[in-house]
Amino acid sequence: MEKKDHPLVSVVIPCYNQAIYLSEALDSLLQQTYQNWEAIVVNDGSPDDTENVALGYVEKDKRIKYLCEENAGPSSARNMGIKYAKGEFIPVSYTHLRAHETEADL
């Protein structure tokens, strides 16, 4: 199929102290049936293990990107992710929400 049939979807995941949920959220993305996506994890200055969890996934899958900023709030983290997104569609996800297997199917 042509690329236009499968546009890139950029999933922005703003995080603050979400290390306990981040693995589940990223695993959920990895299980999607729609494969033309990128995930942009934006660490909003978390003092927990968010960075280490995110970087572990960055090493596993090139579609996962990691950005970090000083704590500026969820809208700042979300906007930073949107700024770096390359997709035609840009849903914002939160680590405590799981994507269903076909949620990103278009």
pLDDT in tens, 15-39: 999 999 999 999 999 999 999 999 9
The first and second tokens of residue 105, run together, are: 């199917």
pTM: 0.85
- If you average pLDDT over residues 37-50, what whole number do you get? 97
What is the structure's pLDDT at 5?
85
What is the structure's pLDDT at 3?
57
DSSP secondary structure string for all residues of 44-87? -S-SSSHHHHHHHHHHH-TTEEEEE--S--HHHHHHHHHHH---
The first and second tokens of residue 32, run together, are: 């999607």
